[in-house]
Every structure is written in C-alpha cells, then in structure tokens.
Structure 1
Amino acid sequence: MDVMHVAKVGLRRWRSALFLLALALCCAACGSEKETDGAADEGSTEATTQTTEGPADGTAEPAGERGPDVYQVLAEEASRGLRDHLLRRARPDDVPTRIDQRLQEAVAVALERQKPRKRPPIDLFYDSTLQEFYRARGFEPMFVDGAGLRPEAARVYEALLDAGSHGLNPEDYWLKDLKPLVEVAESARHNLDDWTFPEVDQVALDALAERLRSIDFDLERGVEGALDVYLEGSLSPELKAAIDTLHRRTESLNKDSIELEVRLADALLRYARDLHDGNLNQASPLELAKYGEPPFHPKYQSEIVLARLSNELVAFSKLSGEEEVDAYLRSLWPQHEQYPKLREALVRYRNIVAAGGWPEVTEGSLKLGSQSKRVAALKLRLHAEGYYDGPVDNLFDQATFDAVSRYQETHQIAVTGESDKPFWRSLNLSAERRTEEIEVNLRRFHQGYFTPSKYFVYINIPDFHGELWRDGERVRRFKIVTGNATRQCDPETKTWFLPNATPIQHARMQFLVLNPYWNVPPRIEKEEYLPKILEDPQWLTKNGFEYYTDGPNTVLRQLPGENNALGKVKFIFPNIHSTFMHDTPKKTLFRYPIRAFSHGCMRVQDPLELAEEILGHEGKWTKDNQTKLDTGNNEQIGLDQPIDVFIEYYTVRVDEEGRVHFLADVYKYVKNEIRPPTAAEMRCKPEEKVVITRDQARAGKPAEPGTDPFDVGVDPSPDAPPHAFSGEGAVPADSGP
C-alpha cells in the first residue's frame, strides 16, 4: 500500500488553520512578555541599547532565540498526529473506482438475466438504483471506512439479523454473504485499535524540523504536509516495521470492504421494501398527486417502489450517529399500536416452541367435578400458554373451569368453562402453528392500509369489532357483523372465490344517512330476489321493495322502515366496493362470537350511539335527529371532518391485559399464506342454473335454463362454516346486505 497518500484538501487546511492559530497565540504570548520586560527597564538607556542592538558582549543573537521555532513546533505537532495520519492512509485511494466497477458488474449480471437462455444467479436486487445513488455521491462509501464497518452501518446489520422478529426471513437480506464480511471488518477494527508504533524521539523531531527549514516548507500545508515530508524521509527500522504491520492488518479489510459496502446497501433496500416501501396500499401526498389513489396501475408499481427506495438511500446518507439510525429503522415499522405487541407475542411463542411446545390432549367431555388423567394433561396444556397456574392433578376444579373459560374468551369460542368440539379443535393446534400465525399476521401488517391518523375507524374483520379513535385515544369499541365466507364458482376462471367477503381497504367517512333506502346490488337481486318476485307478484309490496328509476338507471330498492335491511342509519365512506357500515334489524346475530353473516357490508351494534358520538363531536346531533328517525324521513348529514376508515384482516391481536387472542380465519387468508392451496383445490365446475331476468320476474314469466354469469355453483368444501367455531350450533343463512 502507498503510504504517501495525500489527505483531503479540506482536512489538511482545517488542521493547518488550527496549527497556525496555536502558533499565533504562542507568538503573541512571547511578544507580550518582551513588552513587559521592556516596560520594567523604561528610562534606562543601557537597557534600551542592549534590547535593540543585542547582547552586551556585542555577539549576534541567533534567529531561533528571538521566538519559538515554527518548524520545531510543527514537527512536534506532526508527531502527535502521526498515528491517526497513518490510519487514514491505510484506506486505499481507489475506493470510489472499485465501488463503481462493482456496481457495473452487478448491472451487467442483471442484463444477462433478462436474456432467454440460462440465467445467472441474482447478484444484487437493486443494482441500478444503487448505481444511480452512488454515482451522485462520487461513489464514496456510506457504510465502511478505513477502519471497517461504521457504527451507523453496524446498527443496520443488527436490524437485518433481527428481521425474524418482524416475521421476515433474515436470509433474504444477504446474511450468508454479509456475516463473513462483517467478521473480517470487526477483526480488522480490533486489530487497528490495538496497533501501536514507537514514539518519535527528539532526534527524529529535530531532524524533521531541520528538513522543513531547509526546504523552506510552505506553512499553508500544515501538519498533514509536514507528515508527508516526514514519511518521505528516512524512517527508523521500528517505525517501518509498525507501518508494515498496519498494512498487513488492513489488507483483508480493504479487499472485502467494497463487497461489504455494496451488499449491505442492497440488503437495506430489500429490508425497507419488505417492511414499508413495497406496500402499495399506502401512498404519500406526492404519489397521490402523480399516480392517483391506490390501487395503482401495474405499470406504475415498480416505478413507485424504486423511487421510494432511492429516497431511503438519500435519507440514510444524511443520518449521523446510532440514535438517528435507530429512529430511522423504527420509522420503517408499521405504526399501528398492535404491531409491537405482536412482536412481543412472537418472542413468547417462539420460546414455547424452543422449550418443546405443548402436547396434544385427547378429546373428551370434561366439566366441573370431572376426574381423569385427561384433566392433568389439560392443565399442563393450559399452563403452557399461561391460562392455568395451579397444581397438576386429575380434578377438574374451579381453577380449571376458569382457565378453560379464559381460553375460550381469547379464541372466539362460546364461554362455557366446559370442553366441546370447538375447544378441542383450537386447543390441539400446535405451538408451531400458532407461531406461524403470528408471523403471517406481522407480514400482513407490512401490506396494511393503516397509517397514523388523528381521527379514524379501525375494523379488523376476524375480530368482528370496530373501534373509533380520536387524538390517540380509543373512544369506542363496538361489535360488527361482516361478510360471510360462502364460496362460489367463477364461471369464467372456474375457480372458487368469496363474493361476500368484506373488502380490505382504506376510505374516508363523509356522511351519515338517517332512515336510509337500501339499493339492492344486482348480484343479490338476481340470486335471491328475482326468484321470489317471479313466484309471488305481490312480493315487492309485501316486503317494502320497489323498482326506482333515476335517469337511465333502474334499481331495486327497499324503502325506509322497521324491516329495512340497513336499519335506522348508515355510515358512508365512498369506495370502489360500494360497502359501508349500517344498522340492522337482525340484532340476535351479535350474540355469536364469530359474526360473518352479511353480503360484505358491516352491520353495527348500537349504531345510534355511534352516530351520536360522531355527529355530536361536530355539534350535529340534536333533538331534530331523533324526531327524523322516529318519523322515518330520509336525510343525509355531511361531516365537516371526514373520518379515515381502515378495514384490515388480522387473525391475532393482543388485548390491553397482554392476552394473545387467536381469531377465526373466516376467509382462510392466513391459512392460505401458511400453506397455499393447490391449483386442483381451487378448481371448480359451475352448475347450470335457471336464468331469471328482471323483466321475466316482473312479468311473471317462467325462466329458461342456461348458464348465468352470476351463477354460483355448489361448495363441496369440507371446511366448517364460521358459526361452527362458536360451538353454539347452526345459524340461519342471512339474506341481508
């Protein structure tokens, strides 16, 4: 390695300025001392003569004795900075060139992978993005320096090692390649910290000062320049040996530092993408202005993600210190209050798995007072998750009854305190499976719609509850009914789908409607109501329906009233799915723990209380509202402050007491992520059904057989319907919205 490397101009001038300032202060102090001495002898001609003309003996005063020797001071200052100077020079001077070359190689591999022939393995995930970023900074490194991995970069590496706590696979972030590179960097850093060299003795200092004087050294070059002069001269054998040791210790670091720099940058981008930037269900104000509301058109999706990742690199390059890096990394996490709680739950259940999990318990009827070995096994099983903490014996006592009740409460099973089929089915899922559920839910948060908001409604479909939040406080939690899980066969794709599943989305509540009409969706009209209209021409009048024409459109709608499927009020947040929240006349459905009964909209328990809370916050809930409700008049009331509505799907939640709730996977979204269904499992055969048109139904004409585009096929799935999880028996099918 070339030890004659010239330090950066900025650093050299800075050190020179400090040196010259110190030198000026030293000279000023010396001059002040002379003036004081002169003042003491003022009035003495002899003293004045001696001061101005030299010593009394008439000999000339050497120049060096008139003040401090600039070159001697400079030599001493250089000796004190020699170690740091050599460490800086240990970094190769072609690092930017080598980073440029490495990224060119990665881009070439990416281009090769686009060819139809056998493709090489992926080199970097974001080669072009990295190349553009590093080119803008002159290919200067951001993660490594001459002494190895920078402290800020070490925090990034630690975050990658901990990626599993977010439900991610740490090996997705080049850890197999990064680990040996980081080990080399850490070893090199320790070696450099321990590196010592012999002190520069007085003889060497005097020699350097003399050399500086002899070449009329330019003081503007400062300490760094003096060090250059020193290293150009003859060095002691001891110092030469120390420099050789330094070169050997940094050789491996310099060889691998480029790969460490580039691969760590690429890993950070993928980590940011998986946690945050790959979420296309959220958009910044600039993205909304440029691309519109999500979902984004497929042709823009890659462009959006890559732009976000480029911004991440720029943001990281401006960070200083480990605290700023930690705050930046936390900003990538989903910001919902459940997310950190789920991470803690994951640690807990992984520890349970590591300890051996829990055994399966043989099913059987158990109740208060039962005695059997099965009870002891049940107590051990409940203890594993913290539901039971008493003696392990064969008696089903009150403590066991309470533990079973707590388990049922946190697993959406009817709370009876006794064992039944839903209880055993849930209890005997393995600890590994529960851990997988938590991991999947964490990953679902990475693609969630939720963003921090001062005022919002949050609905988690499997929780069958909604929550109203305002200024960081939960104002209200209320039961809801969501879309059912009935499968239908798509006649075009011949695959199963869930037509009534409540859509996951983000919208904004803009108004409420008192005594609403219900405009029946065409699919529901065709599947459920046209056969009834055909059978009974008076069905519309008897059930409070009418055909209503508005311009070119005619819809089937239900009039306001006691039997209206939407009840007394509906909460409108315009969206592409045409779903909303509303009241319902079918109040009994709220007694079930699992409430997936609707065609997609969300029915609200105690909706008038929610309406009063929302309208009252804006001063719009008055006695007139109650009068209008009583008279049945239809009225729309707008909101001055639209309310964010986030509808999500998570099957695990942690309550205020820290209890982990495992919820019904009614749409099998989580199950399908753990084990994706095969193509054969998704295939179906549409049934030929009788087609009934609106005109035929209204005219009372018989229908003709044929294949209806809204045809539903038979669902032969052996999976239990949602109500089976409650242990309360079958629930009648619901024909409401």
Structure 2
Amino acid sequence: MSPIASETRFRPGVFARLARAGTALAMTALLTSAATPARTQSTLPVESTSIVVGEAHLPTDPLAMAIARELSVNTTVMLDAAINAGSEDELELGIQGFYQGRVFQPLWVSEQGLNPHGEMLLAAFERAGEHALDPQDYAPDRLRDLAGAARDTAALAELEVAISNTFVIYANHLTAGRVKPNEVNRSLNLFPKAPDPSVVLEYVESSEDFATAIDGLSPNTPNYARLKTALADYRAKEAAGGFTPVPEGETLKPGMTDARLDTLRQRLAEQDLFSPGSHSGAVYDGALVEAVKLFQERHGLEVDGIIGKATLAEINVPISTRIGQMELNMERRRWMPDDLGARYVFVNLADQNLKVVEDDKTVHTTRVVVGKPFHATPVFSDEMTYAEVNPYWTVPYSIATTEYLPMLQRDPGALQGKNIRVFSGNREIDPWSVAWSSYSRASFPFTLRQDPGEGNALGRIKFMFPNKFNIYIHDTPSKSLFSRAQRSFSHGCIRAEAPFDLGEALLGPDGWTKAKLETVRDSGERRVIKLSKPLPVHLTYLTAWVNKDGSVHFRADIYERDKVLAKAIAQLRPANL
C-alpha cells in the first residue's frame, strides 16, 4: 500500500496546529506514563497541601485535585467506541497527558458548572446529525443531566472527564469515521486514523474561535461541505412531505399523452429539477422531457427522456432512501484524506467515470468500465508511474485456468487466433506438445501471454500504478460497452473510453500529445513511457455526491457496499457514558 493510502488523515491548516501541539504533549505523556502506569489510582489525601501523581505536582485547588482523582479511575468510560484511533491505553494516556500538561485545570467546566466551551460542545453533540452522525452516540442528555446535578467538585470533575471522553469519540468519528472500512469490507483498502486525543484537546483549547475549531474537525473539503448542505435540504424536503410517487403505467415517450403528468411535474419540482409553470397540459414534451433527462443524468440512467421501468423505479425511490445514501457517503468522505494531491486521477467506481484533476479543476473526464460484481474493483489509492503503448497482456491465472484451460483441453490450437502464446518460464511452448487434459486449475504451470495488436485485451495502451491487486487502467477492443449507462463488465481492471485522449491528459506534462502517442501505437512497437513525477490515483466508491453547481447525484449500489456499510453502522452499539 502506498503512503497515499496509509498515511494518517490530517486536516490542512487545522491539524497542522494539532501536530505541533501534539509534539510537546506527547513528550509530557511519555514522561509521565513512565513514572505512573496507566490505570494506576493515585493517592489524593484531602489534608495535603500538594499532591503527587508520578512526578507531576498538582496545585491545591479542589477542582483540579478532583479532576486528577477522576482521571485516575475513570478515563476509559466509552473509549472503546473510538473506532479509528489507537488502543484504549493510548487513548487513556492521551487524555491524561493533556490534563497533566495543563496541571489538571478544567477545560469544559468551572466551579459554577458548564463554562461557555462546555455549552458549545454539548450543543455540537446535539447537532451531530448535521454530519450524519447519531447524536445519541454522544449522550448529550446524560451530560446535561450531569451538568444540572453538579453541585460539588467531585460532580464537576466527573462532568469534566465525561465530556472529554465523549469529545474524543466525537472527534474520532468526525475525522476518521465510525467504522474501520477494511473490517467492514475487505475490498475497501482504506485505513483512516484519527489524531491523538491530547492533540485534539490541545487544539480546541488553544483555538481563538472555539465553535469554528469544533466544526473544523470534519473533512475540510468542498465535497463534504456540499453534501452536508444537501443532506440538510433533503431532510427539510422530507419534513415537508417528501417525494410524491408517480403511478405505474405504460412506458412514457416524448409526444405521448398521459394522465400522470401533473404528478410527474410535482415530483420533479420537489427535487428542484422542474420549474412550475414551464410546462402544462397532457402531452409529454418540451420542458418536462428536459427535466426527466436531467433526472436521468443525475441518477446514472440512459439519458433519453423515456420513462420506462428503470427510470420510474428511480423516480419512486423514497426520499428517506436518498437521505440514507447521503449519510453513508458522508461517512466515506471522512475516510478519505482532504488532500488528494495537486494533480491526481479520481475514479468513482459507482459512477463508472474517471476524471483528471489539476489544482482542484477537472481537466479531463472519460467513461470507464469497472469490475463485475463478482470481480468488484477494490477501493484504494496508489501512484501511477508509467504507461505502456502496444502492451503485452499476461493473462491472469484465474482467467487462464477457468476460461482458457478448458478451451485448450478441447483444442490445443484454440488460442492461436487470439495471438495468445504459451510459456514455461521464459521459454515458449508449442501448445500442441502439451497434454492439457492432465492439468487442472490447481496444477497449471504455464503462463499465457497475448501479443500486442488490435485484438489485445488491453487494447493499445495501459496506465500502470503498480499495486498488490494488479489493477490498472487500459484501452479495450470492446468499445460498445461504453454506450451503456451501467458499465460493470470487467474482471476488475478499469477500461477507459478514448484512452489516447486520456494519455495526453496524463502524460502531457512530460511532453506527450495524443498525436505523438498514436504515432507510437501505429508503429506496432511496444513502448514504456515513465512519468517524471508519480501521479496519485484514487479508486473510490461514492453513490451520492454534489457537484460544484449544486446538482445532487445518486448512483446504483452496484457492489452492494451501501448495504454492507449501513448494516455495519446499524450494528454499532450506542455509546454508554
């Protein structure tokens, strides 16, 4: 796995400060933990004028003493909910390190009860739904009950520590998500990690604008912000009545008359796709057809204006389902790093589209074919390092043994017409000299390799970002599949439409134009072209997103990853403070 995929996710600007603050605090925690093992209760005699915890000296003010006592016995109340953080001991030390570094002074309370920071944080817990999180996971009602009952230093200390514990979980969920992607689904090779608790606590404590600091824990990207805004809008639409279902009926084509058009106009207006008054009557034409085409485009359907079964089914998806899609994809956005690179390739497998991005602007897009559900393309990030014109195709072992071995057993010359040759090591083998019937899927010692040419399964160019999954982007001789709305037909690799246009977009900085690449192609010679600078490639799976123009898009869950993620989140146990 490349550093792009495995590095800890930090917010630009926001977590730069966190990292600086964390250096000193981590040293404090390390020194203190060496003197005082985790979970060791400290002796805090009331009559003492100073209290020693390891080598850390506490002042005599009662609230700080009570916080130290509370931390010694109650620092891991709910830390098992910190899914993408360190171990429970590391979390405990992080919280203790923060308080030891500030000599156990409170952050959220004063002797009078909740301070303004504490009030703002509890309000943030109560509004967690804005981020598609469950407010009850942070038990704001219980914390408010504790605040209301806090009449002495012991109760205030309990409240202080409970809020800090809860905040660590909240920050963990906002920065890195509620579940571990790779444990939910092995095809999701993402490993987000939240920052150390002491770093987060120091960050908010030292921030000049506390409310902004809390909100800044979430992904600092326009994509996340737009989806958050759209989620609020769709929830408001749901509260206003949701989407009106359109009755079943015959396939509706432009020019036909239909009694359902009033309902259809209402339904599309509810999704802001149709302007009331721009169309009337019983004839399906004009602005109403254009609104349906817009709906089809934003839902990954054939854009033909015809309302058949597929389009009607999407129209009648309840708004609650769409809200659920948005919530799941906000979780996915929390798994992703904010900084994808100044220049990168972004493939959305659910959308079956690829884009090349430079300085936050999309400079090239193309349709792609992705893996069949049985050969689902994994989610991961890596770096493109070279392209190959007129490539060989080394047939994957699974394809060689499941598809081609039976053909060779029936006819040893079956692959010659496909320009596929047989090798044993580096030595070419005459297929007629092999007793193919004596080999099986479990005992196949040969390599099958297809020569470059028009019929090559990889087409005439491939783009390599070497990875353990053997996934890459390539041309294909099967061009007809790109005209389909749903394009999941490969064995896992990504087939690109107009690959030499893509080649110019990817290799242009190194002086390669489309014409220059096609000249190499036409020569028939195999040519490896190295990129002067590795190019980040991100394979993602997003079934809901919002474009810069504010348009909300949804896609079918072709790999049922929404279903798996929704189940994993539903099985999370509510936090038990």
* TM norm structure 1: 0.60
Does the C-alpha gap of structure 1 residues 472 and 361 become closer, same or farther in structure 2, counting only changes over 3 Å? closer
User: 5 Å matches for 1:124-523?
Assistant: 127=92, 129-146=94-111, 148-181=113-146, 184=148, 252=151, 256-277=155-176, 308-317=196-205, 319-322=206-209, 325-365=210-250, 366-391=252-277, 394-448=282-336, 451-485=339-373, 498=374, 500-523=375-398
After TM superposition, give the deviation of residue 270 of structure 1 in Å: 0.8
Partner-residue secondary structure (3-state), 1:380:
helix
**1:547: how far off?**
2.1
CA 1:630 to 1:111, structure 2 compared with 1: closer, same or farther past 3 Å? closer
Distance 2:546 2:515 in 1: 39
Give the match's secondary structure for 2:556: coil
Distance 2:560 2:237 in 1: 25
Deviation at 1:600, TM superposition (A): 0.6
Counterpart selection for 2:70 from 102, 117, 138 = 102
Distance across 2 between alignment mates of 1:599 and 1:631:
29
CA 1:327–1:642: 2 relative to 1, 3 Å: farther
Give the direction of change, closer, same or farther, for the CA distance of 1:163–1:526 in structure 2 (3 Å limit).
same
Consecutive unaligned residues of structure 2, counting only runs of 5 or more, are 1-58, 81-87, 182-188, 428-444, 571-577
Do the aligned partners of residues 320 and 368 (structure 1) sit closer, same or farther apart at CA in structure 2, a change above 3 Å counting? closer
1:330 Cα deviation (Å)?
4.5
CA distance in 1, matches of 2:312, 2:76: 57
Q: Partner residue of 2:405?
A: 530
- Residues 408 and 414 of structure 2 are in contact (CA less than 8 Å); yes or no, is this contact kept in structure 1? yes
SS of 1:562's equivalent in the other structure is coil
Cα distance in 2 for residues equivalent to 1:428 and 1:104? 56
Do the aligned partners of 1:651 and 1:662 also contact (CA within 8 Å) in 2? yes
Contact 2:368–2:482 (8 Å) recurs in 1: yes
Q: Rg bigger for which structure?
A: 1
Q: Percent identity?
A: 32
The unaligned stretches of length 5 or more in structure 1 are: 1-90, 113-122, 186-250, 283-293, 486-497, 679-737
**SS at 2:321's partner residue?**
helix
* Residues 315-345 of structure 1, C-alpha deviations (whole Å, 9 max, x = no match): 334x1422xx345434432344321111111
Find the partner of 1:613 among 500, 505, 513: 505
> Which amino acid in the other structure matches residue 523 of structure 1?
S
Structure 1 residue 108: Cα displacement: 8.5
Q: Does the CA contact (< 8 Å) of 2:367 and 2:497 recur in 1?
A: yes
Partner of 1:667: 559
Q: In the alignment, is the contact (CA less than 8 A) between 1:518 and 1:558 conserved in 2?
A: yes
Deviations 1:138-192 (A, max 9, x none): 222122234544444444333323221221111111212223456x49xxxxxxx
- Answer yes or no: is the 8 Å Cα contact 1:280–1:447 preserved in 2: no
Compared with structure 1, are the counterparts of its residues 131 and 661 closer, same or farther at alpha carbon in structure 2 (3 Å cutoff)? same
SS at match of 1:462: coil
**Which residue type is aligned with residue 196 of structure 2?**
R
* 1:672 Cα deviation after fit: 3.1
- Structure with bigger RCO (C-alpha 8 Å, 6+ apart): 2
Which amino acid counterpart does residue 671 of structure 1 have in structure 2?
K
CA deviations 1:703-735 (Å, max 9, x no partner) are xxxxxxxxxxxxxxxxxxxxxxxxxxxxxxxxx
Quote the Cα distance in structure 2 between the aligned partners of 1:329 and 1:146.
24
Distance of 2:72 and 2:309 partners within structure 1 = 62
Decide whether the 8 Å contact of 1:461 with 1:502 is kept in 2. yes
- 2:461 and 2:139 map into 1 onto residues whose CA distance is 54
If each structure's helix is expressed as a fraction of its own residues, which one has the higher value? 1
Q: TM-score, normalised by structure 2?
A: 0.75
Match of 1:571? Answer: 463
1:643-662 alignment, distance < 5 Å: 643-662=535-554
- Residue matched to 2:480: 588
Counterpart-to-counterpart distance in 2, 1:328 and 1:134: 19
Q: Secondary structure at the match of 1:252?
A: coil
Task: Write out per-residue CA displacement over residues 53-108 of structure 1, whole angstroms, 9 at most, x where no aligned residue.
Answer: xxxxxxxxxxxxxxxxxxxxxxxxxxxxxxxxxxxxxx993111111222233258
Report matched runs for 1:612-651 at 5 Å. Answer: 612-621=504-513, 625-651=517-543
Matches of 2:328 and 2:364, distance apart in 1: 28
Q: Which amino acid aligns with 1:270?
A: I
The Cα RMSD (Å) is 3.4
Amino acid at match of 2:357: W
Q: Indicate conservation of the 8 Å contact 1:106/1:127, yes or no.
A: no
Shift in CA distance, 623/373, structure 1 to aligned 2, threshold 3 Å: closer
Q: Given that residues 395 and 449 in structure 2 are in contact (C-alpha distance below 8 angstroms), is that contact kept between their aligned partners in structure 1?
A: yes
CA distance in 2, matches of 1:354, 1:172: 23
- 8 Å Cα contact 1:481/1:598 also seen in 2: yes
Residue type matched to 1:459 in 2? Answer: V
How many angstroms does 1:382 deviate by?
A: 1.6
State the one-letter code of the partner of 1:99.
Answer: I
Alpha carbons 1:479, 1:590 under 8 Å: kept: yes
